[in-house]
C-alpha cells in the first residue's frame, strides 16, 4: 500500500493543514511489515491540493496512486478532493510517521474528524 504522510520541511513529523501541505513522506507499507520510506515529495505551491483544485482537478498529480494520506488536520473539502481521486484520508493526533502507519494497520490509531466537520 502506498501511504503519503503530510509533513513540514524537516520531513520528520506528521503535520496538519494537508490541503496546503507541500511536503509529503511516501511509504510503501503492508500489515505486519516495517514501513519503507520510498520518496520525499515537495510540491510546488500550485500543486498543493488547495491550489491544484482551484486551477484544475483533472490533470495528473504527484500523489496519484497513493491509497492513503495520513495527516494531523484537514478540512472536509480536502477530504472530498482526495476521496474523489480514490485516496482514503486518515486524520490523527499521532505525529510519528512509522508509528502512525503501524497503528493504522493494527487498528489502534486514534482517528479524528476534519476540522470543519459540520460547518
Q: Which domain holds residue 11?
A: 2-106
What pLDDT, in 10s, does the model give residues 71-110?
999 998 899 889 988 999 999 999 999 999 999 999 999 9
Cβ atoms 27, 101 nearer than 8 A: yes
Strand locations in the chain (E): 2-7, 23-28, 36-42, 68-71, 88-91
For residue 18, give the DSSP letter: G
How high is the pLDDT of residue 119?
Answer: 43
Say if 73 falls within a structural domain: yes
Say if 114 falls within a structural domain: no
How high is the pLDDT of residue 118?
Answer: 45
How high is the pLDDT of residue 54?
Answer: 57
What pLDDT, in 10s, does the model give residues 28-61?
999 999 999 999 999 999 899 888 865 556 778 8
**Number of domains within the chain:** 1
The enclosing domain of 97 has a CATH number of 3.30.420.130
How high is the pLDDT of residue 77?
Answer: 87
Amino acid at each position: 500500500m502506498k501511504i503519503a504522510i503530510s509533513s513540514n520541511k524537516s520531513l520528520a513529523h506528521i503535520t496538519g493543514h494537508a490541503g496546503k501541505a507541500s511536503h509529503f513522506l511516501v511509504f510503501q507499507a503492508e500489515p505486519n511489515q516495517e514501513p519503507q520510506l520510498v520518496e520525499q515529495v515537495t510540491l510546488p505551491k500550485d500543486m498543493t491540493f488547495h491550489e491544484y483544485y482551484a486551477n484544475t482537478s483533472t490533470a495528473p498529480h504527484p500523489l496519484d496512486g497513493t491509497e492513503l494520506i495520513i495527516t494531523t488536520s484537514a478540512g472536509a473539502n480536502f477530504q472530498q478532493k482526495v476521496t474523489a481521486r480514490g485516496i482514503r484520508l486518515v486524520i490523527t493526533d499521532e505525529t510519528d510517521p512509522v508509528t502512525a502507519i503501524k497503528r493504522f494497520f493494527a487498528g489502534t490509531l486514534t482517528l479524528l474528524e476534519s476540522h470543519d466537520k459540520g460547518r
